[in-house]
Amino acid sequence: MAEPALLPAVQMERLAPAPLASPCPRIPRARVARRCAQRWADLGCSSGPSSGGMNQLPQKNPLQPRPAGCSHSWLSSAESSSMDGFWMEVERIQQRDELREEDSGGNEGQLPEEGEAESQWLQDTGLSGLLGGLGLDSDHKELLSTLTQTQVAAVCRRLDIYARSVRRQHKTPARDVRDVFGVFNSVKFTIPKGRLGVTRIGDLSLQDMRKVPSLALIELTALCDVLGLDLKRSKAGKWKAAETRLFGVPLDSLLEADHKVLPSTQVPLVLQALLSCLEKRGLDTEGILRVPGSQARVKGLEQKLERDFYAGLFSWDEVHHNDASDLLKRFIRKLPMPLLTAEYLPAFAVVPNIPDLKQRLQVLHLLILILPEPNRNALKALLEFLRKVVAREQHNKMTLWNVSTVMAPNLFLHQGRPPKLPKGKEKQLAEGAAEVVQIMVHYQDLLWTVASFLVAQVRKLNDSSSRRPQLCDTGLKTWLRRMHVDRDKAGDSLEATPKVAKIQVVWPIKDPLKVPLTPSTKVAHVLRQFTEHLSTGSKGQEGSEDMNSLLLHHRPMESANILLYEVGGNINEHRLDPDAYLLDVYRANPHGEWVLKQSPT
């Protein structure tokens, strides 16, 4: 996969961040563009039948990169001139009297005042210790030590804006950026890619995944600075506790109730049930999602669901598929907070303003990583269903663009309320919202990954945490300088690479599985070797009696049911991609262990 095209020099002059008032690291603009291209090259890796490569696009709905300044030029003339599906959906929402005034939603969607957004950003990125002259604890130091120069510049800019605002308001001053970062010339942050495989959301442990959103927010802010985009963020409105049990209830509250029934569930059970009903009976129905159901029946079904769902008394057998699609959209619209979150809904909306497709994917990828876990999981379940609808296009006549225009109002117009827009901007909003949905449906396998440079930063955080006692009683400037010098020397301190990899097995086998550790050894080779042992009853290892008895018990097992994890060292637990090279994984985490486990599913 070729690296993303670099921004032309003229564009870089226009899109470059404004000069900083403080002596933050200065990076040549061309080098910034090259770094952004390099660090995101690993996003070109994707799998799954629907995603393909980044440049393999649907023929009927081309998502081609468009020239700068040409809004939505990738749309065909027919699609661009006809947004009937979008506006018909908006009209139906309004006719159903869903534009009710919320007693507690007065400040939702309002932009924060100057300095307030920067303060919230520093808190969300885990850098709240930089506010109000507070000292930095070891967690802050660990996070700062992982940042690249582009990310450092983004932090400096927010600190600078916040410092100016608090000086005007006579508050306690923020830490000066020179006190935080000192003055240093370069940070050599090597980002392994390709040979470490693809890390998908869900491959990392919860402990490691919790570190990703703050890192993704810093990277997103730095990327938007380079692209010249204003990363707007709205206030999250207050919401009044609903008297219902399903519709109008926050996702985390639904999951809390669902965990009493099914502790392992990650998507609300009512949403799973709606999607399952539509998958079983509606995928081949012409106009599914577009053709409305009966308003009276839908309201009655909603009341029955509220009363009977958790009691197990609700029957889906007689629910008409068009009524079920209306219930699905109604569930999404009635969430107290948007599925894409009130804070970042404006950021999703500006994605179509980015000229280059790969850069749009980069921004969307980071936004998805920032979403709260319940929102991200629910969105993924919805997108997987929409992909199945599009796959049955020959039967249901719903193209990717049809599906996108119908679903966009339910995701972008929270509770059906159109935003206040300048005159003439409505068509641009509709096309942009539909484009974002189209990209998310088509590229969901690519978007639901964790970029390799983010995994590398998580490793660095964990490595710093394990050496926490060494980080005490020194000035922050001296400490940062020492950390960056340590990075340059890190490659020289590795022990000699072993020639054989020892793989621990969760099953009762006395000795670990031994695999030659060569530059060509992949995780898939380990899985294949272990599967062959299971199928042939190999007696070539010590402890063969235990092995043979186990093989007879597990004879039908296939390699797809076995997973290889790296555990410990600089990662808590990481499920490895079958295409990852073991030697490169070892070099990224020489103190970790490798463990074979059965798939939890």
| 104-133 pLDDT tens trace | 444 455 556 667 788 888 888 888 777 765
The enclosing domain of 562 has a CATH number of 3.10.20.90
Q: Specify the pLDDT at position 220.
A: 93
Q: What is the DSSP letter of 48?
A: S
Q: 145-173, pLDDT tens digit by residue?
A: 788 888 888 888 888 887 777 767 665 55
Determine, yes or no, domain membership for 286. Answer: yes
Q: Is 410 found in the same domain as 300?
A: yes
Is residue 99 over pLDDT 70?
Answer: no
Determine, yes or no, domain membership for 263. Answer: yes
Lowest mean pLDDT among 76-85, 384-393, 442-451: 76-85
Determine, yes or no, domain membership for 35. Answer: no
Q: Is 270 found in the same domain as 404?
A: yes
Q: Which of 409, 348, 501 is nearest to 94 (CA)?
A: 409
Helix or strand run (H / E) with residue 365: helix 357-370
- Residue 268: how many CB atoms within 10 A of its CB? 24
Q: Which of 141, 138, 123 is nearest to 217 (CA)?
A: 123
Q: Specify the pLDDT at position 539.
A: 47
Helix or strand run (H / E) with residue 220: helix 212-227
Q: Is 282 found in the same domain as 335?
A: yes
Q: Is 162 found in the same domain as 196?
A: yes
Q: Is 219 found in the same domain as 128?
A: yes
Q: Which of 457, 449, 439 is nearest to 401 (CA)?
A: 439
289: confidence class by pLDDT, cuts 50, 70, 90: very high
Cα three-residue angle 365-370-373, rounded to 5 degrees: 110
Residues pairing with 454 in the sheet: none
Q: How far is CA 27 from the centre of its chain?
A: 28
Q: Is 407 found in the same domain as 342?
A: yes
Q: 492-512, pLDDT tens digit by residue?
A: 444 577 778 788 887 656 677
Is residue 520 over pLDDT 70?
Answer: yes
Determine, yes or no, domain membership for 76. Answer: no
Q: Which of 324, 353, 337, 332 is nearest to 409 (CA)?
A: 332
pTM of the model: 0.76
Determine, yes or no, domain membership for 257. Answer: yes
Domains identified in the chain, total number: 3
Q: 299-342, pLDDT tens digit by residue?
A: 999 999 999 999 889 999 889 999 999 999 999 999 999 999 98
Q: Is 363 found in the same domain as 291?
A: yes
Q: Is 280 found in the same domain as 220?
A: no
The enclosing domain of 392 has a CATH number of 1.10.555.10
Q: Is 258 found in the same domain as 209?
A: no
Question: In percent, how much of the chain has pLDDT > 70?
Answer: 63
Q: Is 442 found in the same domain as 335?
A: yes
- Residue 51: how many CB atoms within 10 A of its CB? 17
Determine, yes or no, domain membership for 16. Answer: no
Q: Is 221 found in the same domain as 194?
A: yes
Measured CA distances, 384 to 48, 266, 387, 425 (Å) = 12, 15, 5, 31
Domain range for 116 is: 112-168+187-231+472-484
Q: Taking residues 566-578, what's their average pLDDT?
A: 94
Q: Is 404 found in the same domain as 358?
A: yes
Measured CA distances, 304 to 248, 307, 311, 315, 385 (Å) = 15, 5, 11, 10, 24
Determine, yes or no, domain membership for 403. Answer: yes
Give the list of residues 6+ apart from residue 243 with CB closer than 8 angstroms, or none. none
Determine, yes or no, domain membership for 14. Answer: no
